Amino acid sequence: MPRALIAAVCCLLWSLPAAAQETKVTLAVLGFTADAKQMLVQLEDDNIGTNLRLYDLATGQPAAKSVLIPFHRGESQKVIQATRKRFKIVDLGLEETLYPQDPNDAEKTLSFFGLMATRDRFVLAVTDRQKLGKIADIPVRHDAGTDVWAKVALKSLYWTTDRKWLVAVVTQKLKAEGLLTEVDEPHACAFRVTDIRWVEPEPQKDAKPADGDAKAKD
């Protein structure tokens, strides 16, 4: 190949944008200890494969001295059962975005969802079909030193069987400097219906008096 052509090809390759590298980590909750202090998590990482790990509910982070327990698809059931037994995961929990307040009345059900309140704050929210409430704020990842923020979505919601703890798994997608990361994060919190922070409707401005009120003033 002529040197001039080689040089032209090299210049073209150098001028092309680099292909974005991708990192993806998905997460699922496989159960809880009897005291609801820890949970067993399954992680699927593009770089290190499929693993199990014990997490603390209070922090949403790996438990002290916990290690990744790798396994292959063909042995998943055997490894998961053995790991549940090892860490005393006795509560398999529930995966559900609904919270029935009255089993005999389907209308009395809370529905959980996520929304971007601002670009740096994601909200785990709830509705009872009449009003909206807030459960927790979840910080949004961003690229340090830039104005690039992640896009966040609620992936799933797990509960202990007694419904006293919930774990929101959110997916944060961030693309910066040619690197695309898509990471699931667990955010746990104790739950009581009385702790919901309901959003109060804003009072109407410049409201006109009712006809009866106007006549009374006359």
Say if 183 falls within a structural domain: yes
Q: What confidence tens digit (pLDDT) does each residue in 130-172 have?
A: 999 999 999 999 888 788 999 999 999 999 999 999 999 999 9
Say if 15 falls within a structural domain: no
Q: Are 112 and 100 contacting, i.e. CB atoms less than 8 angstroms apart?
A: no
Domain total for the chain? Answer: 1
Within 10 angstroms of residue 48's Cβ, the number of other Cβ atoms is 11
Domain ranges, residue 24: 20-198
Say if 3 falls within a structural domain: no
Tell me the C-alpha distance between 122 and 137, whole Å: 6
Say if 117 falls within a structural domain: yes
What was the pLDDT predicted at 17?
42
Residue type, 29: V
Q: What confidence tens digit (pLDDT) does each residue in 44-62 have?
A: 998 889 999 999 999 999 9
Can you say how many angstroms the Cα of residue 139 is from the centroid of all Cα atoms in its chain?
A: 11
Two structure tokens written together for 174: 């961030």
Q: What confidence tens digit (pLDDT) does each residue in 188-212 have?
A: 999 999 999 998 766 666 655 555 5
* CA atoms 141, 97, 46, 92: torsion sign: positive
Say if 111 falls within a structural domain: yes
Whole-model pTM: value is 0.80
